[in-house]
Structure 1
Amino acid sequence: MMDIEHQSEAVRYAAQHTSCTVEEVDRLLSGAEEVLQEQLRDLYEGAWDSKRQTFVTRDQFGSVVFGLPPVEWKERLSDLDLTDDEVVAVLAYHQYLAREINGFVVETRTTAKQSFSPVFIQVPDEWREADRVATLRFKKYFIFGLTPAEALDYWLSEFSNWDKDEIAGWRNVNRAAVNKNLRQARKKIGNYEEATSFYENKGAHLVPIDEVDEEHQPEPPEKSGLSSVGDS
């Protein structure tokens, strides 16, 4: 958590540089925090989208810092129906925390002549708990002998439901490598994983059809020595 004394300093700074009182700044910050927490996922996604002007600058004190042009912060806070001066008060508070308390400003490589204001957003408790669960899962995977690549591909595919082609693209590997990691992961985890789609029976196992490489696709019955399926 951010130090209370530092927060108070930032609130006073925002009040001194706008027409808002200290009490009004506190109220504005509380409302802005609630609204922006609801947008946290979209902000993260925007930060990794090269077509959007969103930047993640750092994680610190249980919060993540995003950088956006002031006009975009105003749009994100539009549900609060703030005046321009009230938006300035919110941004001034966060700028003070960034510059005076943490010693940084948002600097980008863009050639556009516009400033980017940092805003600290507290990570919700449920996000922290989700991180803890994910950490425990990876700990278990490593205990079962999975390599880091196998553990990552298995987690992304089985529990986050990401498309396997997307996973391959993110990791700059081919789809066959992801398929192999998933097969190896299921084999190592075996019956210990409740949600696994891998079942062993005397050396045979089930594999999702979209994970079978083209050269290993099963032949149709008519090409495997059977003239007619169902003939006696």
Structure 2
Amino acid sequence: MNTSQVATVVADAASVDDAIASRFSCRAFLRDKPVARETIAQILDVASRAPSGTNTQPWKAYVLQGASRDSLADKVCAAHDALYADPSLAEQYREEYDYYPTKWVSPYIDRRRENGWGLYGLLGIAKGEKDRMHAQHQRNFRFFDAPVGLMFTMDRILGRGSLMDYGMFLQNVMVAARARGLHTCPQAAWNGFAKIILPHIGATEGEMLVCGMSLGYADVDAKVNGFHTPREPAANFTHWLE
């Protein structure tokens, strides 16, 4: 056992809480404000302390900057445009695992709708403006202008529990980023384009795409970054047993 882990005292609980509470899906970054490679490495290193079943540590991270970032964005945006023009191509772009349910029920569908129309409403995109919705959705594939794109994969041989482990790792990445003044946007939007992404990043045939993530400094003046989703109070989902 690492005695420093046992003995460490977190003296400033408020800062830990602030790092968690201030995390949100940032949708506008400062493209011209780079993130140091050392900082990215520190974030990934501390995030690796996430728990995983029998210490399997299923995460694999690919960091895209510069030309590799831009060329991937171009490839996926072209595929996204083609899919928009011809929806029959959807069969070519299937997610490898079900991120969302096949059938939506309340309260989840209500929250999903609130999220979507809240974002589009803030941006002045009205219901039925499909071209504008498509353009906004495509911002995902430009990493919302973040200078750093991250792609996360895991070996297909692993079980469903490894996805739960992965979620804890991803949360660590996002909280560690906040501790360094950075923001993030976790993105399942990339998953349908895995057949483009995996060869681009040099992943092996045994890997599957878990999600992407944008990382950088938030554009504090961007209207879209004023969108923050509500949360149910803990009292609504907690059951106390005595």
TM-score greater than 0.5 by the shorter chain: no
TM-score (structure 1 length as normaliser): 0.25
Specify which structure has the higher proportion of helix. 1
